[in-house]
Homo-oligomer: A and B are copies of this chain.
Amino acid sequence: MQPSARVATIPHMDIAIPMYDRFTALDAIGPYEVLSRLPGARVSWLAHEPGLVRTDNHMLALEATAAFEDLPTPEVIVVPGGVGTRALLDDERLLGWLRTAHVSSTWTTSVCTGSLLLGAAGILDGLRATTHWLELETLARFGAQPTSERVVPQGRVVTAAGVSSGIDMALWLAGQIAGEQFARAVQLLIEYDPQPPYDCGSTAKAGPELTAMVRERVAELR
């Protein structure tokens, strides 16, 4: 869909989504569903090697069509989170690719604990940044200033909170890239008029009891 003639002249925009074992699917698919509709968008699913990459619960596999190094200069980078980030905080191949790609990218973004990878690559040093609420303190380790806002733009670096926040981040980003009218058209096309059945999607709204319960259960599972 190209609702705006203004942006239809953009030839190509490479959007790189790096995957890894045990990433969280919605972290990646939320932004993909929005950004793939931008004029000229070409989404590339990258991994250490081309092939199937499994999500956090191993119940789903997505296809990576290229290795990280095959796309050295994407315009947009979207790093999803997931429990798999833990094993990659010193993975020089992924972190090196992130560092290099970030030099020329127009936007470098993350969803959920994807920001820990940006942090480990040195990209968040001195910046305000966010991540999944369970890992907010971890960001400080990388010189970032943790904040619990949902979408945190810092120049061309944008971090988003847990899992579902990538949709909000990507719509904001679509507005920056293709203009507000285009972004509004995409929001209507994906019928993003959220009506969550409960009002507990942040720790502030969930309250201490539910928050503590989820924190304990996640700790048990780990």
| Residue of B with least CB distance to A64 | B61
| Interface assignment of A172: CB less than 8 Å from any CB of chain B | yes
Q: Is the CB of B221 within 8 A of A1?
A: yes
| Interface assignment of A96: CB less than 8 Å from any CB of chain B | no
CA distance A60 to B60 in the complex (A): 13
The residues in A between 111 and 137 inclusive whose CB is less than 8 angstroms from any CB of B are 112, 132-133
| Interface assignment of A158: CB less than 8 Å from any CB of chain B | no
Q: Is the CB of A168 within 8 A of B197?
A: yes
Choose from B62, B181, B190, B194 the contact partner of A62 (Cβ within 8 Å): B62
Q: Is the CB of A197 within 8 A of B214?
A: no
Chain A: interface residue count, which band? 35 or more
| Interface assignment of A77: CB less than 8 Å from any CB of chain B | no
| Interface assignment of A175: CB less than 8 Å from any CB of chain B | yes
CB neighbours (8 Å) of A192 from chain B are 163-164, 194, 196, 201
| Interface assignment of A161: CB less than 8 Å from any CB of chain B | yes
Given contacts A36-B57, A60-B32, A63-B63, contact A206 B188 (CB under 8 A): yes
| Interface assignment of A189: CB less than 8 Å from any CB of chain B | yes
CB neighbours (8 Å) of A172 from chain B are 197
Given contacts A3-B217, A62-B60, A63-B52, contact A162 B187 (CB under 8 A): no
| Interface assignment of A24: CB less than 8 Å from any CB of chain B | yes
Q: Is the CB of A213 within 8 A of B3?
A: yes
CB neighbours (8 Å) of A61 from chain B are 62-63
